[in-house]
Amino acid sequence: MTFYTYNYLHSSQDIWQYARITITCVLVLIFILFLVHYLRHRFDIKYKDLSIIFGTLLLLILGMQYNDFSNIQNSIKQSGQITTVMEKIAKQLKVSKYSISVNSTTPDDDVLVKTPKGIFRVDYNADGSQFVLEQIVLHDSSSIKIEGAK
């Protein structure tokens, strides 16, 4: 069973996804530069060809990014929600938020929280606005792996 620390969840906001968006923006700028250069020098075919190549590459990457962007936003939102829950749990148990970890990156029904005071299950109410902590005992606690631990 894998648990994720507060630092891991807070810092892993899909940096690679933002790098892909940055690369796309750079390709847009290069495409615009080649297009403007072609429009200034209409008789120079190489800028037309470069504009078409970068335009096609840009359309291909934008097509792949279209679906990923909404997934990025959902992932960031859910990761932010679980870190907020972790902060509330740390405050309720009077421990540091950096000393607790959860077994899920999204706030769903089966969230376990590992703290210095034990392992707790998080039970949400019907609308998910409040939760109750229930202390549990795992039969095999040797299989716990913590991601983001120093």
pLDDT digits (tens, 9 = 90+) for 83-111: 888 888 889 889 998 888 888 777 776 78
Range of the domain at 71: 2-147
At 150 the pLDDT is: 55
At 33 the pLDDT is: 85
| Whole-structure pTM value | 0.61
Q: What is the DSSP letter of 117?
A: T
> Which residue, among 73, 71, 69, has the nearest Cα to 61 in the 3D structure?
69
Number of separate domains in the chain? 1
At 110 the pLDDT is: 79
> Which residue, among 147, 7, 14, 148, has the nearest Cα to 90 in the 3D structure?
7
Residue 17's pLDDT band, with cuts at 50, 70 and 90, is low
Centroid of chain to Cα 13: 4
Q: Provide the 3-class DSSP secondary structure of residue 91.
A: helix
pLDDT digits (tens, 9 = 90+) for 24-80: 788 888 888 888 888 888 777 777 787 788 888 888 877 777 767 777 677 666 667
At 7 the pLDDT is: 80
